[in-house]
Amino acid sequence: MEGKYKVITLCGSTKFKDDFIREQERLTLEGNIVISVGMFSGSEEKVLSSETKAMLDDIHKRKIDMADEIFVINKGGYIGESTRSEIEYAKKTNKKINYME
């Protein structure tokens, strides 16, 4: 199986930090390469400029480009505006989409 690992990018609200960590570990132990968010701004009350937010959103789309599929952390069915945008991007680029819930 060497070198045959699926690449999965995690998407979702960063306020679900514990879920991101848990799913990243689970997916990794299942034999996947997992790409996650660069920071958990939604869970730590960091205030980001609109320019920084736009940059982070673009970086995450590049992470989607590198992936075979995305895994959406949608705790309680919640999907925010940024995550919705990432899902639409994944659809446009023909990525498989899986959901936590």
Residue-wise pLDDT for 35-90, tens only, equals 999 888 765 567 788 898 899 999 999 999 999 999 999 999 999 999 999 999 99
Q: Write down the H helix ranges in the chain.
A: 17-29, 50-66, 81-92
Question: Where are the chain's structural domains?
Answer: 6-99
CATH architecture of 6-99: 3-Layer(aba) Sandwich (3.40)
The torsion angles phi and psi of 92, rounded to 5 degrees, stand at -65, -30
The torsion angles phi and psi of 67, rounded to 5 degrees, stand at -95, 155
What does pTM read for this prediction?
A: 0.91
Q: What is the rounded CA–CA span in Å between residue 10 and residue 60?
A: 9
